[in-house]
Amino acid sequence: MNCRHCNAELRHVFLDLGFAPPSNAYLDHAELSAPETHFPLKLFVCDTCWLVQTEDYAQADALFRPDYAYFSSTSRTWLEHAARYAADITRRLSLGPDSLVIEVASNDGYLLRNFVAGGIPCLGIEPTTSTADAAQAIGVPTLREFFGEALARRLVAQGKRADLIAGNNVYAHVPDINDFTRGLKVALKPGGTITLEFPHLMRLIEQTQFDTVYHEHFSYLSLYTVSRIFAQAGLRVFDVERLSTHGGSLRVYGCHDDDARVMLPSVAGLIEEEETFGLRSLDIYLAFQARADAVKDGLLAFLLEEKRAGRRVAAYGAAAKGNTLLNYAGVRPDLLPFVCDAAASKQGKFLPGSHIPICAPSELDARRPDTVLILPWNIADEVVAQNHRVAEWGGTFAVAVPEIRRLPS
């Protein structure tokens, strides 16, 4: 296999999690007795451009199915994050009724609803039917396709070039990152702005967030590597912000390479910090497997001790990161009988691989577990606040990453 960006031969394994099903391929009851497709879940690091990437097996159309069950609007904190961004970027770019905003991977309209409400023309691009239907139901115009250079050229031919192209947590999800980036270049107006949000590779390594590795994430990104990918497509990064979302993300601001805007000090500063951290040397990558294994072993020891002590355990949040963690650890319903999730699209189904049943949050009240393991640790505060009644029967919350620990009540 060669690097998806620079085509150099890939020789160094960053992380090997064995075989796992796609993390968002939730099962209904009838599918439990059918064979379940598993793919290798292995990451390589390119020692030329330092792009971390999955091994080539799963294809995007096999991962992002029409019944894709991830709906962005399920999380209150994510809706608030999107609303703040929409207000800030509208002011920063002076967007108005003569502007066009395009969001790639617009999901259920969680972001573009804010531009619709503000009277700013927008277009969502979303290939999954379930979420595109939800977006259109709230008035967000949505094109049901995967984004790339060919689609961008069709949009331009229709007179649609964007003042703003937004992409939140999509850049890591595209198998052909060069084609996707060329598409951004084609669809962007002269003087236009691109903003992309993605989990920061430096934070993944620093916090041992190996559970954010799954097949839908083809790439794991540093600012240095993103700047290289942009430059090859005729774009450049002129600003970057650090975000707390998803355990530590970046929001990069991009423009055409001949744009008059100067590169702000934030860009060079963070690239230098990444190099100091070690993102352009192999040592930090080759040491990561042992750290991931320690997290896995800690979770198993915790669940086994809870079972021995007769303490009832449940999980909260049927998130992709939870599926990676549970499948790598080999956790099954004997150690974790059920998981609750607020998304109606997941309730009544089963987690891929582990086959743990997904229930509505009301099941916590019905069964009153002693311990609730929060799988989407990045929204642990929100989960605790929404389920504060757990403390009324003496229950506690726990998270497993970056190490297993109980949370204060």
Q: CB under 8 Å, gap of 24 or more: what pairs does 387-396 form?
A: 387/316, 387/361, 389/364, 389/365, 390/364, 393/368, 394/370, 395/368, 395/369, 395/370, 395/371, 396/370, 396/371, 396/372
CA 160 to chain centre: 28
Mean pLDDT of 225-245: 97
Closest CA to 7 of 57, 46, 52: 46
Closest CA to 343 of 81, 76, 164, 149: 76
Residue 116 forms beta bridges with which residues?
none
**pLDDT above 60 for 66:** no
Cα distance between the two ends of the chain: 48
pLDDT at 76: 84
CA–CA distance, 106 with 322 (Å, rounded to integer): 23
pLDDT at 409: 72
8 A C-beta contact, residue 83 and residue 117: no
8 A C-beta contact, residue 214 and residue 320: yes
With both helix axes pointing from N to C terminus, report the angle between 265-277 and 223-232 in degrees, rounded to the nearest 10: 120
The whole-model pTM stands at: 0.91
Distances, alpha carbon 161 to alpha carbons 107, 155, 178, 344, in Å: 21, 7, 19, 36
8 A C-beta contact, residue 216 and residue 173: yes
Q: How confident is the model at residue 217 (pLDDT cuts 50, 70, 90)?
A: very high
Instruction: Report H helices in 188-319.
Output: 201-206, 223-232, 265-277, 283-286, 288-308
User: Quick check: do 72-285 and 290-406 share a fold?
Assistant: yes
pLDDT at 72: 74
pLDDT at 394: 96
Which tens digit of pLDDT belongs to each residue from 150-193?
999 999 999 999 999 999 999 999 999 999 999 999 999 999 99
Q: Pairing mode, if any, of strands 122-125 and 142-143? A: parallel
* Radius of gyration, CA atoms only, the chain: 21
Mean pLDDT of 287-315: 98
Closest CA to 361 of 351, 372, 350: 372
CA–CA distance, 273 with 384 (Å, rounded to integer): 34
Tokens of 88: 């800030």
CA–CA distance, 405 with 330 (Å, rounded to integer): 19
Tokens of 254: 């991009």
In what helix (H) or strand (E) does residue 251 lie, and over which residues does it extend? strand 249-256
Distances, alpha carbon 218 to alpha carbons 13, 44, 56, in Å: 14, 11, 9
User: 244 CB contacts (<8 Å, ≥6 apart)?
Assistant: none
User: Residue-wise over 331-340: b if at least 16 C-beta within 10 A, else e?
Assistant: beeebbbbbb
Secondary-structure class of domain 290-406 per CATH: alpha beta
Domain extent listing, the chain: 72-285, 290-406
User: 96 CB contacts (<8 Å, ≥6 apart)?
Assistant: 119, 120
Q: CB under 8 Å, gap of 24 or more: what pairs does 91-100 form?
A: 93/163, 93/164, 93/193, 95/120, 95/163, 95/164, 96/120, 97/121, 99/163, 99/164, 100/160, 100/161, 100/162, 100/163, 100/164, 100/189
Which tens digit of pLDDT belongs to each residue from 15-65?
999 999 998 899 999 999 999 999 999 999 999 999 999 997 655 555 555
Which tens digit of pLDDT belongs to each residue from 94-135?
999 999 999 999 999 999 999 999 999 999 999 999 999 999
CATH (residue range 72-285)? 3.40.50.150
Mean residue pLDDT across the chain: 95
